[in-house]
Structure 1
């Protein structure tokens, strides 16, 4: 019974699930091509950054798949002979070519969408020359904080020493959160469709974020009013701000130069939207309580960090929440993912000890339970 549970592949991917990622990628690339054509700049991948990240995350996924096979085989036996046989069985039953193809398509679609996003984001100052709404955004948020900038309130409340270092680490963690969470979802999600849903939701964040930059161009407080952040110590976040400013100035001086690009845009905050998406997805995918708590804590700290360092205005973070919600709703609609389809059942193994396995529910829970327990030989109740 344990071997069946450990090696069983997650539920099959629906046709909508297969098509969702490529559809988002195709639309995003089409819009990016229109934008780069209008700006007179070629569609490109500066320094092959996106290609390198795709390769890196692909290697990470391959390692996680190997780890998944080893762990599941180890649950059956750690003796060399049976263990190797168990690994072959898990690989054959769990990692079918259909599932491997679904993961590969989701991964490539995500990074194609990300490439389109980077191109569109770079084009904002060329497509909306001279249009910046920093003054309006700053005045709007000051009106809700008694005439004081929210960043100033955070500096006076949290201080500018230890808090700066902690929040800088939180903000920079985003660089690792996106690829690592994507890889983990695609490999370990209780259902293949759940992992694809998360990948599509992240992709839609990129697409909607690029659109928001064009709708309301802004630089962010750190660039529009840098004096308000002069007392902050040097951190990794402040170093990144300097690098991005240099890249923007170089891009604006010669947009057609090889590898020229810029990545400064404030409205809305994709740090906020994507971490929010991850936090909500943790619930929708049925992850553990502590992991859900950790993602919400990271979301709260990330939102604070975006204001603290002047990356964003408060309204940018609010827009990020809207983008995140829209991305989740659209991804669910496009993939056909049903959160209630993820249920955890407690089934006995050979030694009579409980083993948690994920099950896809396609009807009523009691009907799904009877099908699964009848097939695997268990009779315990759902958790």
Structure 2
């Protein structure tokens, strides 16, 4: 009996992700109770995460069925076309897997944000900015990396471009997750991406506690005085205000949001890049993702969010997250699997004879 259930759990692509979400969720609850700091839901400009994710899922659901309904039934019988597509393509199993992916991501993300928020209370007075800064100067032969980038790229147009790239990360990652969960019938594909992103939050939270640090923008702010006002500088100021409130009264302040080691901007964007590559997404999408990743890495140093070591650690977290999630969801640890995202629900998305393990990535 046990062997039968164990076999079912191993075959389900979300087993590891759900267990991971449960573990970090319980950890956040226990830490909250012991520290006397209530759990908070981090809010973005699109509202709370528990609102954003379902809305994105529904938006991509509409994106998947509306064009098909128009092609099948035309404008006159559009309603009937939608009903037919939902009946033929959308089983309760598919809806359950999508909901599981969104919930796994949500629990891991919210738990990560709260665990990160407990950092100044748990590791009070511990800071590694001096050590990380010395490493930067040693690697750059006595120069600060941000100074080099400001000299090479300038502090005008480049600042605006890099700020746009950096801030766009906030809504872009949930959007890509919703797309892969909703617009494909291969459940293991969405599970792979959702689990990989969730691993980023868990490993990132652990990294913050290993080397608590603020980043150059907060520990050496004068290096960035020449930068113009952008969305990034506004975000940095907002986090600074939150930090001051946390130092004064952590039980009443918004979630603490400052943490340099490791860079989750780097880890999460690299996760997306590697996932697109290993699932053989269209070439234009892979190239765009790589460009976005490189610009993100530059932005983290340019604006003083991170030290070089933070980005290196973030890259490792991104790589190991994709690899572990691939293994946990049955998609392989080292290998590339060919199953592209289908932008509609038409056709059978089950792996074909060519969807076998290919060359090692």
- Give the Cα separation in 2 of the matches to 1:23 and 1:308: 37
1:183 and 2:178 are equivalent in the alignment: yes
* 2:17 equivalent among 18, 21, 24: 21
* 1:94 matched residue in structure 2: 89
1:247 and 2:237 are equivalent in the alignment: no
- Give the Cα separation in 1 of the matches to 2:339 and 2:238: 46
- Counterpart secondary structure, 1:273: helix
Tell me which moved more, 182-191 or 311-320: 182-191
Which consecutive residues of structure 2, in runs of 5 or more, have no partner in the other structure? Answer: 1-8, 341-345, 357-361
Query: For residues 51 and 207 of structure 1, do their structure 2 counterparts lie closer, same or farther at Cα, with a shift above 3 Å needed?
Result: farther
- Give the Cα separation in 1 of the matches to 2:339 and 2:21: 30
1:269 and 2:263 are equivalent in the alignment: yes
- Give the Cα separation in 2 of the matches to 1:322 and 1:161: 32
Query: How do 1:323-362 and structure 2 match up within 5 A?
Result: 323-338=317-332, 342-343=338-339, 359-361=349-351
**Structure 2 contact 260–306 (Cα < 8 Å) conserved:** yes
Query: How do 1:187-198 and structure 2 match up within 5 A?
Result: 187-189=182-184, 191-198=186-193
- Give the Cα separation in 1 of the matches to 2:43 and 2:73: 47
Query: For residues 43 and 302 of structure 1, do their structure 2 counterparts lie closer, same or farther at Cα, with a shift above 3 Å needed?
Result: same
Q: Cα deviation per residue 1:55-91 (whole Å; 9 max; x = unaligned)?
A: 122122112212211223344453634x554433321
**Structure 1 contact 154–308 (Cα < 8 Å) conserved:** yes
- Give the Cα separation in 1 of the matches to 2:186 and 2:321: 20
**Structure 2 contact 40–114 (Cα < 8 Å) conserved:** yes
* 2:113 matched residue in structure 1: 118
* 1:214 matched residue in structure 2: 209
- Give the Cα separation in 2 of the matches to 1:16 and 1:341: 18
Tell me which moved more, 112-121 or 50-59: 50-59
**Structure 1 contact 28–113 (Cα < 8 Å) conserved:** yes
**Structure 1 contact 342–358 (Cα < 8 Å) conserved:** no
Query: For residues 313 and 14 of structure 1, do their structure 2 counterparts lie closer, same or farther at Cα, with a shift above 3 Å needed?
Result: same
What is the TM-score with the length of structure 2 in the denominator?
0.87
- Give the Cα separation in 1 of the matches to 2:169 and 2:46: 16
1:33 and 2:24 are equivalent in the alignment: no
- Counterpart secondary structure, 1:45: coil
* 2:6 matched residue in structure 1: none
Q: Cα deviation per residue 1:104-139 (whole Å; 9 max; x = unaligned)?
A: 111012111111101110111111111100010010
- Give the Cα separation in 2 of the matches to 1:56 and 1:361: 31
**Structure 2 contact 42–255 (Cα < 8 Å) conserved:** yes
1:365 and 2:354 are equivalent in the alignment: yes
Query: How do 1:28-177 and structure 2 match up within 5 A?
Result: 28-45=24-41, 52-78=48-74, 80-81=76-77, 84-177=79-172
What is the TM-score with the length of structure 1 in the denominator?
0.83
- Give the Cα separation in 1 of the matches to 2:324 and 2:355: 29
How far 1:50 moved relative to its partner?
A: 10
- Counterpart secondary structure, 1:360: coil
**Structure 2 contact 42–113 (Cα < 8 Å) conserved:** no
* Higher alpha-carbon Rg: 1
* 2:302 matched residue in structure 1: 308
Query: How do 1:313-324 and structure 2 match up within 5 A?
Result: 313-324=307-318
Q: Cα deviation per residue 1:169-227 (whole Å; 9 max; x = unaligned)?
A: 11001111111111111112362210121111111101110000001000000000001
- Give the Cα separation in 1 of the matches to 2:172 and 2:73: 33
- Give the Cα separation in 1 of the matches to 2:284 and 2:163: 23
Q: Cα deviation per residue 1:148-171 (whole Å; 9 max; x = unaligned)?
A: 011100000000011111111110
- Give the Cα separation in 2 of the matches to 1:161 and 1:89: 53
Query: For residues 266 and 286 of structure 1, do their structure 2 counterparts lie closer, same or farther at Cα, with a shift above 3 Å needed?
Result: same
Please provide the CA RMSD for this pair. 2.5
